Amino acid sequence: MTRQQFPNLDLAERQLAISGRDIFLQVPGKPDEILAAAANDDASNNVDPYWGLLWDAAIAMSECLLSRQWPPLRTLELGCGSGLVGIAGLHAGLDVAFTDLVPDAVQLATANAERNGFPSPVGFALDWKQPLDQRYELLIASDVLYEASNHQFLLNVAERMLEDGREFWIGDPGRTIAADFIKMATDAGWKVELKDADGRETLMPARLKFQLIILRR
């Protein structure tokens, strides 16, 4: 991967050891510049300024996916960023399609997947306000609940794009606002299961520590 592929990004190398696997990533080396650019952009409401950050929840979510061997479920990652969670899913046996609101994120995620030995990865830009008529056997996402205004759109995507009887896995760092999303999902008829980083079921939303939120219809 070269700078010519991403002329507007100053990329940095990362190597992460997750559940016994080494995952190699290139990530935006100056994510604060992406935040600043979004803040100064009159159309910033149509841009996700956080995609360039490698959140701790993504590492924990990757460990959750790699804790089991999956069948090759047709899987959609929402908010892929640089692609860590989706790459972990590929290593675990899932057939992952990378999506993000930001086309640069999708391009970087799929390039990172190729770098980790997965030829011809699938990825496309996806606006949660406009879900597609495509169904998947599993949805995955990490640290996507930080804006309450996006919660209903996220549930709409799950309603439209997740096959009946299947699961939506969301890794969350224990943000207070996640409890509002959980209530919204429950009120909408979703069954919600909560687990900690070690896979133990919990009864209440976590505060300031990783939790896995699993939605089912």
For residue 132 the two structure tokens come to 């597609």
Going residue by residue through the chain, which has 217 residues, state the pLDDT in tens, using 9 for 90 and above. 444 466 667 899 999 999 999 999 999 988 777 777 666 665 444 567 789 889 999 999 999 999 999 999 999 999 999 999 999 999 999 999 999 999 999 999 999 999 999 999 999 999 999 999 999 999 999 999 999 999 999 999 999 999 999 999 999 999 999 999 999 999 999 999 999 999 999 999 999 999 999 999 8
Where do the domains of the chain lie? 3-216
CA distances from 2 to 10, 55, 125 (A): 10, 24, 21
CA distances from 188 to 144, 158, 179, 183 (A): 19, 12, 14, 8
Residues 205, 209: Cα–Cα separation, whole Å = 10
Strand partners, 41: none
* Of 173, 100, 164, 103, residue with least CA distance to 142: 173
With a CB cutoff of 8 Å and minimum separation 6, the contacts of 118 are 87, 90
Contact, 136 vs 163, CB < 8 A? yes
Q: Does 3-216 carry CATH code 1.10.3720.10?
A: no
Residues 208, 6: Cα–Cα separation, whole Å = 34
Strands (E), the chain: 11-18, 21-28, 74-78, 95-100, 122-125, 136-142, 162-172, 191-195, 201-202, 211-216
